[in-house]
Structure 1
Amino acid sequence: MTRWIDISQRLDSNVPTWPGDTPFSYRLTWTKQMSGSVNVGQITMSTHTGTHIDAPFHFDENGKKVLELDVNLYVGPARVIHLPAMDQGAIGSIGVEDIERVDLQGVTRLLIRTGAWEERRVFPEKIPEIRPELAEYLAGRGVQLLGLDLPSVDPLDSKELPAHHALTRHHIHILEGLVLDDVPAGDYELAALPLPLADADGSPVRAVLRPLYSG
């Protein structure tokens, strides 16, 4: 049986967070010695720590919250592609010309490996952002979920978040912080379900892939 590949960031005290955001912590509030029966832990973290999804409420006061999102978009066939220029250290940005040679026929979920976030235990200073016009191009080819090995689809210092807004305007869901370093390009089955957080602007996910084989 084909094994699942974990493409999630490890959640521990070393996981990087957005500057000024809530750091991750886990501690035991009850030990087995204290309770007489069990260990019980407490987690403190931002909804945008590690591998996570963005809900539109993250950047739109009237946008959908996590529990209102269609969970079906986070499970199913996905295509992983590599952008070699990004792997070679060119930050730049990601636009239509970077994707137009990729066959997107039948692709609902697109995961992009840029290789630009090399030291994942340190929050990056700069990333290749998604250019807003790419949203319309992807939507026109049926893409409904875009995943990246980056902490954001926009420049890290952006306040307007044009890519977030453009993707949502074209009904494309956002999955960020993937670990695709050792994942070959190709077709996979993806599972990256958000938690059922009723009022949240985002959610951590345990994202996993397994190869899809024809025949």
Structure 2
Amino acid sequence: MKKLWDISPPVSDQSPVFPGDTPYAQAWSATLGPGCPVNVGKITMSPHVGAHADAPLHYGNEGFAIGAVDLAPYLGACRVIHAINKGPLIEWHHIAHAVQDLPARVLVRTYKRMPVDRWDGELAAFAPATIEQLAARGVKLVGIDTASIDPADSKTLDSHQVIRRLDLRVLENLVLDDVPEGDYELIALPLKLMTADASPVRAVLREL
């Protein structure tokens, strides 16, 4: 069988969230016992907890909710590019060594070890011009191992606005710690949430 890399962080009540966002919480609405044959949980969380796909609705009121987007960008040939400790913004020269004959999906690793249990207010993000150049080379989806493609303190979300204008898709909070640079098959399908601004994904890479 082809090797798989699970690039999704664990999701629990320890998962970091953007300050002010809804953390993960679980309760039991039914438990095994006399008169009840099953355990049934109840979950509350932001759709931006863990590995997730932003919907166009997240950064534009005219945009589609995540349940209405085309699934094709989230499935197919993908390149992982390392730009470790190059922040605060990933500039074109940080990834230029690996942009020949790009597939339609590009994931960028910025952490040596992704902090799955704490919020990082100094997270690395994409420079808007980097996304522009990726799109010019046919890229339809960009992903990153941080919580946002924009700086955590940004109020203008310039890279998200490039994504909106060029109709690209985005994955955030990926775990790329153990993934060598190179080409893979990406599988990271969002849930069919018809009014949501994002969706959790179970993101995996499969060797070609």
The TM tier, using the shorter chain, reads over 0.9
The structure 1 residue matched to 2:140, chosen from 135, 144, 155, is 144
Contact kept? 2:114, 2:145, Cα under 8 Å:
no
TM-score of the pair, normalised by structure 2: 0.94
| C-alpha distance in 2 between matches for 1:92 and 1:166 | 18
Contact kept? 1:117, 1:124, Cα under 8 Å:
no
What is aligned with 1:10?
A: 10
1:102 Cα deviation (Å)? 1.8
Q: Secondary structure at the match of 1:32?
A: coil
AA partner of residue 205 (structure 2): L
The structure 2 residue matched to 1:93, chosen from 79, 82, 89, is 89
| C-alpha distance in 2 between matches for 1:68 and 1:174 | 15
1:100 Cα deviation (Å)? 2.5
**Residue deviations 1:38-91 (CA, integer Å, cap 9, x gap):** 11111110011111011111111111211221101101111111114x2xxx43
What is aligned with 2:110?
A: 114
AA partner of residue 145 (structure 1): L
1:168 and 2:164 correspond = yes
Stretches of structure 1 that go unaligned for 5 or more consecutive residues are none
1:35 Cα deviation (Å)? 4.7
| C-alpha distance in 1 between matches for 2:152 and 2:121 | 8
What is aligned with 1:182?
A: 178
Q: Secondary structure at the match of 1:100?
A: helix
Residues 4, 169 of structure 1: CA spacing in aligned structure 2 closer, same or farther, 3 A cutoff?
A: same
AA partner of residue 9 (structure 2): Q
What is aligned with 2:207?
A: 211
Give the ranges of 4+ consecutive aligned residues of structure 1 lying more than 4 Å apart after TM superposition. none
Contact kept? 2:75, 2:186, Cα under 8 Å:
yes
| C-alpha distance in 1 between matches for 2:160 and 2:132 | 12
1:116 Cα deviation (Å)? 6.2
1:171 Cα deviation (Å)? 2.2
AA partner of residue 125 (structure 1): G
| C-alpha distance in 1 between matches for 2:172 and 2:149 | 8
**Residue deviations 1:111-146 (CA, integer Å, cap 9, x gap):** 111116643211002122211112221111110000
1:103 and 2:103 correspond = no
Q: Secondary structure at the match of 1:165?
A: helix
How many aligned residue pairs are there? Answer: 208
Residues 24, 113 of structure 1: CA spacing in aligned structure 2 closer, same or farther, 3 A cutoff?
A: same
1:52 and 2:52 correspond = yes
Residues 109, 39 of structure 1: CA spacing in aligned structure 2 closer, same or farther, 3 A cutoff?
A: same
Contact kept? 2:104, 2:138, Cα under 8 Å:
yes
Contact kept? 2:89, 2:124, Cα under 8 Å:
yes
AA partner of residue 148 (structure 2): S
Aligned-residue sequence identity (percent) comes to: 43
